């Protein structure tokens, strides 16, 4: 009888073992920052803080000259704490106030996974001492640059990311990947427009596996195929576009709605507008601010068609709510959002942003 291993469900779900290209590096589509999560990830046009390194690097240049160094951090847990998603970043000022440099780090990981490959000893007896734990984690390191451009009307900023991807599955497999993102933002009055072209050169992950001879013997004995020693996973380009408008309702009250659309090119997806190879996934966010102190937010994204038992289709989506507080140079943001699996597994997301102003 075949032995079933818990870690197979995780290890063999990774694309490099299946040679699939769709949803490659999908951990980079989750979204960072509680503000963005609360707004349904609709921030491509309006993002202008340290989290812009992830959403649209062009937004970094809109940090004011008096902001100085800005630091941001986020932590969230998914699937009842099984997966942990973290982000840290910083934005550095330059001698030219129209330019900004950013550095950021993202990790999504599942820890404490039991490896039961050697659960049975040579005589076929169960030996729990042979079980050890490992982690399956994805890392992204981003170096960002943004600069304002001279235009006759409004403000235009352009920017880009150079990113390094590191993916590790215990001692069994690991990969390195490299890619480039390009972004632009335009502002005129209350109008906000944004575009972020991700993986413009196609991002690749070069995978290598490292199973011991004992592990390989167990895999073969239990009817499993041996994974390839090396392979390449490709992340195809995608484009995130956004448009928003900042309404100053009164001296103290502001209202900012933003609509985004994510264009993917890796084949047909379950989205509102589904095609092959291009699919479009829209999202919408709304932020109500009072006196630049407290912000109430709501958003909706990940619209998908779900088929019922009678073959009828219904539209499901991922809702989100959040609140933000701005206390001097510290921003505290919170979001309450569904992970988007249709089972109402809501998660709490908290992020902080600290601006260290230069001394006058």
129-178, pLDDT tens digit by residue? 667 778 889 999 999 999 999 888 999 999 999 999 999 988 888 999 99
* Residue 18 resides in a domain: yes
Domain at 160, CATH number: 2.40.160.40
Q: What pLDDT is stored for residue 15 in this prediction?
A: 39
C-alpha of 330 from chain center = 23
Strand partners, 171: none
Least confident of 3-12, 25-34, 56-65: 3-12
d(CA 208, CA 206) in angstroms, rounded, equals 7
Distances (CA, A) of 167 to 22, 204, 205: 17, 12, 8
Res. 40 pLDDT band, cuts 50 70 90? very high
Number of domains composing the chain: 1
Contact 91, 100 (CB under 8 A): yes
Quick count: other Cβ atoms within 10 Å of Cβ 221? 11
Q: What pLDDT is stored for residue 19 in this prediction?
A: 40
* Residue 47 resides in a domain: yes
Nearest to 219 by CA among 112, 129, 114, 116: 116
In the numeric block, which tokens belong to residue 4? Answer: 């079933």
Res. 272 pLDDT band, cuts 50 70 90? confident
Strand partners, 299: 285, 320
Range of the domain at 193: 6-356
Nearest to 46 by CA among 37, 56, 54, 38: 56
Maximum CA extent, the chain: 80
Name the one residue in this structure whose structure tokens are 């039961």: 116
Res. 10 pLDDT band, cuts 50 70 90? very low
* Residue 1 resides in a domain: no
């Amino acid at each position: 009888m075949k032995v079933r291993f818990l870690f197979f469900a995780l290890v063999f779900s990774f694309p490099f073992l299946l040679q699939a290209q769709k949803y490659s590096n999908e951990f980079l589509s989750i979204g960072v920052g509680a503000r963005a999560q609360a707004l349904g990830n609709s921030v491509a046009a309006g993002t202008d803080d340290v989290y812009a390194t992830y959403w649209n690097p062009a937004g970094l240049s809109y940090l004011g000259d008096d902001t100085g160094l800005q630091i941001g951090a986020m932590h969230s847990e998914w699937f009842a704490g099984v997966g942990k998603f973290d982000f840290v970043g910083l934005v550095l000022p330059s001698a030219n106030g129209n330019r900004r440099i950013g550095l950021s780090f993202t990790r999504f990981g599942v820890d404490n996974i039991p490896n039961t490959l050697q659960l049975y000893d040579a005589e076929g007896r169960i030996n729990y001492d042979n079980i050890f734990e490992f982690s399956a984690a994805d890392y992204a390191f981003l170096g960002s640059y943004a600069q304002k451009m001279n235009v006759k009307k409004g403000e235009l900023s352009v920017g880009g990311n150079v990113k390094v991807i590191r993916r590790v599955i215990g001692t069994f497999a690991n990969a390195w990947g490299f890619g480039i993102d390009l972004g632009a933002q335009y502002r005129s009055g209350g109008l906000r427009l944004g575009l972020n072209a991700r993986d413009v050169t196609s991002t690749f992950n070069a995978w290598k596996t490292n199973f011991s001879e004992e592990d390989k013997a167990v895999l073969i004995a239990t009817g499993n195929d041996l994974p390839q020693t090396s392979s390449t996973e490709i992340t195809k380009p995608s484009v995130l576009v956004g448009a928003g408008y900042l309404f100053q309702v009164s001296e103290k009250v502001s209202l900012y709605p933003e609509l985004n659309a994510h264009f993917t090119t890796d084949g047909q997806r379950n989205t509102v507008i589904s095609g092959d190879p291009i699919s479009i996934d829209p999202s919408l966010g709304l932020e109500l601010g009072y006196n630049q102190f407290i912000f109430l937010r709501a958003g909706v994204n990940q619209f998908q068609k779900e088929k019922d038992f009678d073959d009828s289709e219904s539209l499901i989506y991922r809702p989100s709510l959040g609140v933000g507080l701005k206390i001097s140079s510290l921003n505290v943001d919170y979001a309450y959002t569904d992970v988007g699996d249709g089972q109402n597994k809501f998660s709490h997301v908290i992020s902080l942003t600290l601006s260290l102003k230069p001394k006058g």
